[in-house]
Amino acid sequence: MAPVKSVCFIGAGFVGGPSGAVLALKNPDVEVSVVDLSETRIAAWNSDALPIYEPGLLPVVKEARDAEVRPQNLFFTTDVKGTIKRADIVFICVNTPTKTAGIGAGKAPNMAYFESATRMIAAEAESDTIIVEKSTVPCRTAANMREILKAVGKPGVNFEILSNPEFLAEGTAVADLMKPDRILIGSMQTPSGLEAAEVLANLYGSWVPKENILKTNIWSSELAKLAANALLAQRISSINALSAICEATGADVGEIAYAAGLDSRIGSRMLQASVGFGGSCFRKDVLNLSYMAETLHLPEVAAYWQSVVAINEWQKSRFTKRVISTLYGTLTGKKIAVYGFSYKKNTADTRESAAISVVKDLIAEQAKVCIYDPQVTKAQIWEELDINGCHLADVEKFVTIAQNPYDCASESHAVIVLTEWDEFSNKDVVPAKKNAGENPQQLLPSPVASEHNSDNEMDMTPADKSARERYNPKTAVKHAEAQNAKVDWEQIFDIMERPAFVFDGRRVIDAGKLQRLGFRVECIGRGNPF
C-alpha cells in the first residue's frame, strides 16, 4: 500500500480527540483530522478550553494543532464528508450506548451511531480505505460492516476493516497513549487484511515499541476489549465483596488486598475497595458481555457477568445504609457534605458515578446535601441528578453546590468522600522506591488504578443533546489544570456539628489522624477490630 497521508477520526470525544492528537504529534508527516457534527465541540477543540478535562492533553493538542513549533498536522472540523473523501484510514470513535428500549434493552449496545458512521464512510470514500473500529462493539461487528460497505460503497472502492480497541483510562489518557501497555490490531487473516494491519502498525510504530504491538484475528480483537473491561470490573466487585466481610469481622480490606496482591498470580493492581465503580464503560461493557452470552444460549455465563454489576449496585446501597445507621438511624434535616462527584479523580466525567446513587439515596432520606467537586460544574451536577430518576425541582429543595470544601462542610453532621481527589487525602506521601517490596505501602493499589475505564467514546450525532452539552467547555471543564490545596481537616472539624463524622468511600483518609482531631471515621472495608 502507498504511504498514509491522511487519517480521519470520526467522533471528537474522550477517545477520538486524545487519540487523534497523539497520533498527529508522533506522525508529523501525516494529516490527522478529528471530525464531529457538533459545532460546539469542534469549536472547543480549536480553542484552549478543550471540551474534556485530561491532564497533559492541551500541550499535545497545541503542538500539533497551532503550528507554533512545527507545521500544523492536526485539524478539528465539522466537514465529515470532505475529510472522509481524503482519508486513507478512518477511525470510528462514536458512542455505542446501552439500548434503552426494544430487544436487549438495558444490556445490548445501541449500534445506531456506529452503523451511521459506517454508511457515511461507504457513501463518501472515493478510494481504497482502511476502516478501524475504535468504538467498543460486539464480536463479529466487522461482518455486518462488510455487508453495508459492499452494498453502499462506490464501484471499484475497496475497504479493509481492522479492530483496534482503545485501552486508555480517563485521567491518565495522555500517558496511556504515549506509553501504551499494548496496541491490539485485529484483521481478517487474508493477504489484504494482514497488509492493512501492517499499515496501521507502522503508524503506531513511530513511537510504540514493536513488541508492544499485537496482531490477532479480528474477532479476538473485538472481544478482547469487552473481556478486558469485564475482568477489571470483576476485580473491583470482588474486592468490594470482600470489603463487606471485612467490615463485619473487623478485618481491614487494605491489608487483605496487600497480602493477596503479593501473590504474583494475583498482583496488587485494581484491588482498591471503594463505594463502587463508575464511568461510561464498565457497567455498559459487562452488561453487553452478559447479553452476548444470553444470545449464545449460555445462561450461566450471562448470570455470572450480571452478578458483577449486581455487586457494584449493592455496594453503593450498602454504603448509604452504613451512613444512615451510623448517624443514629435518621438523616432528616441533617446537612451532609459530599466530597467529589466525578466517578474518579483527574476527570470531570460523571457518567455512572457512584456519587449519583449515593446522593439520590441521601435525598430520599430528606438529608440536606451539599456537594463539592474541584472539576465538575454546577450545571453538570444538576443535569446528572435531573436525568437519573430525580425531578430537578425536588432535588433543588435538598441539594446545594459549594465552590470550596469549607463552605461544603460548614455546619454539616458528616463529610462523605466519594471521589479520590488528592486534595481530600490526608495520607502522607511516601516517595516511590525502585524496589516496591521495600515499602509495603507502595504495593497497595492506588486510587487512580481503581477504575481503569477505557473506551469513553462520544457520539457524533447532534441529536444527542445531553452528551453534546455535557462535554462542552461551558459545562464540563472547571479548572483546566487545577492543583487545589489539601483540605485542612482541622479547620473542617472546627466548622462541623458534633459529633463530626467522616465516611471514607475511597480509602484516601488516614483514619488515625482524623480521630486524633476528634472525628469519628467510618471507612469502606474496615470494621471494628475489638
Q: What share of the chain is helix, strand, coil (3-state, %, to 5)?
A: 45, 15, 45
299-326 and 218-249 helices, crossing angle to 10°: 40
- The highest-level CATH class for domain 228-456+488-523 is alpha beta
> Of the ranges 154-163, 212-221, 447-456, 493-502, which one carries the lowest mean pLDDT score?
447-456
Average pLDDT over residues 334-342: 98
What is the structure's pLDDT at 99?
A: 93
Q: Is 249 annotated as a binding residue?
A: no
Q: Is the dihedral of CA 379, 383, 385, 390 positive or negative?
A: positive
Q: Is 36 annotated as a binding residue?
A: yes
Task: Return the DSSP state at 467.
Answer: H
Residue 375, amino acid: Q
Beta carbons within 8 Å of 505's beta carbon, 6+ residues apart? 274, 275, 319, 354, 358, 416, 417, 418, 524
Q: Is 12 annotated as a binding residue?
A: yes
Res. 450 pLDDT band, cuts 50 70 90 = very low
157-179 residue pLDDT tens:
999 999 999 998 888 999 999 99
Choosing among 3.30.565.10, 3.40.50.720, 3.40.50.1820, 3.60.130.10, the CATH entry for 6-208 is 3.40.50.720
482-499 residue pLDDT tens:
567 999 999 999 999 999
Beta carbons within 8 Å of 365's beta carbon, 6+ residues apart? 324, 330, 331, 332
Rounded to whole angstroms, the Cα distance separating 231 from 134 reads 19
For the chain, the average pLDDT equals 90
Reported as type and span, the H/E element at residue 511 is helix 511-517
Q: Is 56 annotated as a binding residue?
A: no
CATH topology identical between 6-208 and 228-456+488-523: yes
Rounded to whole angstroms, the Cα distance separating 32 from 10 reads 11
Residue (of 20, 10, 166, 7) closest to 94 by Cα position: 10
Q: Where are the domains of the chain?
A: 6-208, 228-456+488-523
Active site residues: 281
Site of grid cell 458481555? 289
Give the predicted TM-score (pTM) of the model.
0.86
* CB-based contact 163:193 (threshold 8 Å): no
pLDDT at 451 over 70: no
Q: Is 505 annotated as a binding residue?
A: no
